[in-house]
Amino acid sequence: MAEAEGRKLGKNSAAELLGDWRAAERDLAAAKETSTTAELAAAAAEEALVAAKETSDAAHLSSEASARAEQSAKRTAKAAEMTAVAASQDKGEAADALERAAEAESAAGDRFRDAQRKGFDQEPRTPDGGDG
């Protein structure tokens, strides 16, 4: 009934003007909400861009760190290899020195026991190893 009366009143009637005003208010409220949503979406997109840049930077740094770690590991392996070779040589030299020391100890013991059996020298020796 109100619609029919509104049609009777025609254009620019109070009812039509009020209806237009109410529709405009609804459109304004919807536009404000859309604007707020768009602002939030823009802020989220900006944050996503910053996060993507940080992720890219982190990936680059991680890749660089990985490459440096690989180089460091290679240098460490090479140093370990050199140390192993040197240690092997040292081990051989130490074995030779041990053998020579054992031979010298055995010979010195044999000389001592031989001298002991003979009653040791009765005459003192001079510092040059000759007799007094």
pLDDT digits (tens, 9 = 90+) for 76-97: 999 999 999 999 898 889 999 9
With bands split at pLDDT 50, 70 and 90, how would you rate the model's confidence at 119? confident
Query: For residues 132 and 125, is the Cβ–Cβ distance under 8 A?
Result: yes
Question: Which of 114, 111, 132, 110 is CA-nearest to residue 122?
Answer: 132
pLDDT 10s digits, 35-57: 999 999 999 999 999 999 999 99
CA distance linking residue 13 with residue 2, whole number of Å: 13
CB crowding 50-70: b at 16 or more within 10 Å, else e: eeeeeeeeeeeeeeeeeeeee
- pTM of the predicted model, to two decimals? 0.45
Give the whole-angstrom CA distance, residue 129 versus residue 19: 135
Query: What pLDDT is stored for residue 125 in this prediction?
Result: 62
- CB-CB contact of 16 with 6 (8 Å): yes
pLDDT digits (tens, 9 = 90+) for 57-69: 999 999 999 999 9
Amino acid at site 64: E
